[in-house]
C-alpha cells in the first residue's frame, strides 16, 4: 500500500480548479482506491488513497494535470506568462522560470498532491506539486510535455523524484522545477551545479549528456528551499 492524500476544493473555482467529483474520478481511473474523505474546512476536501504502486501515482498526476490544462483560468495564467514568447522553446522556458520563481520546495510529512492553482497560490510544494503545475501550464498551450521520474520509469525501480520533460524538435528536454535548473538541464546536473544535496541512491544515475539545453538564455530566480531534517532534497519513499 502506497498512501497518498489528494486535496481539492469542495466549492471549486471552476475556471482554475477541478471539482471534488472530478478529482475522485481521476483517482479511481488511475487505479487508486479511495479509502476515506475528509472535510478540512474552508471549502477544502481531502481523500486518503491507496495507489498500489508508484506507477499509479504518476498516472494520477498526469491525469489531473491534463484535466487542469483544459481549465480557462490555467490557460490564462500560461498565456500571461508567455506573452512575449514566439516559440514553444521560449514558452517552455518562461513557464519553467515562472514555476521556479513562484513555488518554493517544501518537503511533506506524508505524500500530498495539491492542485495547480492551490500550489501557485500558497507558493510552495514538493516536486510532484510543482511538476504537476508546470505540466498543466505547458499542456494548456498545447505544448507536448510529460512527467518522468528518477530513476526513470523504464528501469522498473521505485522513483524518488519526478520532473517534467517537454518535447521540442522531436526530442525530450528536462524542465526541473524544484531548483534553479536551466531549461534542458538534467535534474541531477542542476543539483550538483547548485550544491544541492540529493538522495544518495540517486547519485549513480548518469546525467551529463542526457538531453541538450534549450536555445534560450533567461534569467533564473534563486529558489528558496525547505529541506527535510536530514538536509536531503527529493521525493517518494519506497
Q: Sort residue 103 into left (φ over 0), alpha (ψ -120 to 50) or beta.
A: beta
> Does the pTM of the predicted model rise above 0.75?
yes
pLDDT tens for 14-59 read: 666 777 777 778 878 888 877 777 666 666 666 677 777 778 888 8
User: Across residues 154-172, what is the average pLDDT?
Assistant: 85
Q: With pLDDT > 90 as the criterion, what percentage of the chain qualifies?
A: 36
Every domain of the chain and the residues it spans? 53-226
- At residue 38, φ and ψ (nearest 5 deg) are -135, 140
Length of the chain equals: 238
Sheet holding 124-125, edge to edge: 124-125, 104-106, 225-226
Q: Which CATH architecture has domain 53-226?
A: Roll (3.10)
The answer, yes or no, to whether residue 69 has pLDDT greater than 90, is: yes
Average pLDDT, the chain: 75
Each residue of 81-96: pLDDT tens digit?
A: 999 999 999 999 999 9
pLDDT of residue 109: 62
pLDDT over threshold 80, residue 170: yes
Instruction: Please state the rounded mean pLDDT for residues 156-185.
Output: 91
Residue 182: its pLDDT value, please? 96
* pLDDT confidence tier of residue 105, bands split at 50, 70 and 90: confident
d(CA 116, CA 130): 8
Backbone angles phi, psi at 40, to 5 degrees: -90, 0
Say how far apart CA 65 and CA 75 lie, in whole Å: 12
Q: In this predicted model, what pLDDT tens digit does every residue of 194-227 receive, in sequence order?
A: 888 776 655 444 443 333 333 322 222 222 222 2
Which of 14-23, 79-88, 116-125, 183-192 tops mean pLDDT? 79-88
What is the predicted pLDDT for the residue at 94?
Answer: 97
Amino acid at each position: 500500500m502506497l498512501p497518498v492524500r489528494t486535496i481539492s476544493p469542495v466549492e471549486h473555482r471552476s475556471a482554475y480548479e477541478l471539482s471534488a467529483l472530478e478529482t475522485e474520478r481521476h483517482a479511481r481511473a488511475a487505479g487508486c482506491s479511495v479509502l476515506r474523505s475528509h472535510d478540512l474546512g474552508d471549502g477544502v476536501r481531502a481523500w486518503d488513497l491507496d495507489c498500489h504502486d508508484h506507477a499509479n501515482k504518476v498516472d494520477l498526476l498526469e491525469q489531473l494535470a491534463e484535466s487542469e490544462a483544459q481549465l480557462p483560468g490555467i490557460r490564462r495564467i500560461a498565456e500571461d506568462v508567455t506573452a512575449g514568447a514566439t516559440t514553444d522553446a521560449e514558452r517552455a522556458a518562461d513557464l519553467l522560470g515562472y514555476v521556479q520563481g513562484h513555488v518554493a520546495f517544501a518537503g511533506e510529512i506524508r505524500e500530498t498532491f495539491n492542485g495547480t492553482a492551490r500550489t501557485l497560490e500558497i507558493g510552495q510544494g514538493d516536486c510532484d506539486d510543482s511538476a504537476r503545475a508546470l505540466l498543466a501550464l505547458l499542456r494548456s498551450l498545447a505544448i507536448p510535455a510529460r512527467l518522468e521520474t528518477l530513476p526513470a520509469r523504464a528501469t522498473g525501480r521505485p522513483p524518488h523524484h519526478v520532473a517534467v520533460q517537454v518535447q521540442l524538435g522531436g526530442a525530450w528536454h528536462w524542465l526541473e522545477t524544484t531548483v534553479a535548473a536551466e531549461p534542458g538541464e538534467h535534474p541531477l546536473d542542476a543539483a550538483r551545479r547548485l550544491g544541492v544535496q540529493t538522495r544518495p541512491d540517486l547519485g549513480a544515475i548518469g546525467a551529463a549528456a542526457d538531453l541538450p539545453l534549450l536555445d534560450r538564455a533567461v534569467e533564473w530566480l534563486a529558489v528558496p528551499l525547505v529541506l527535510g531534517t536530514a538536509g536531503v532534497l527529493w521525493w517518494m519513499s519506497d
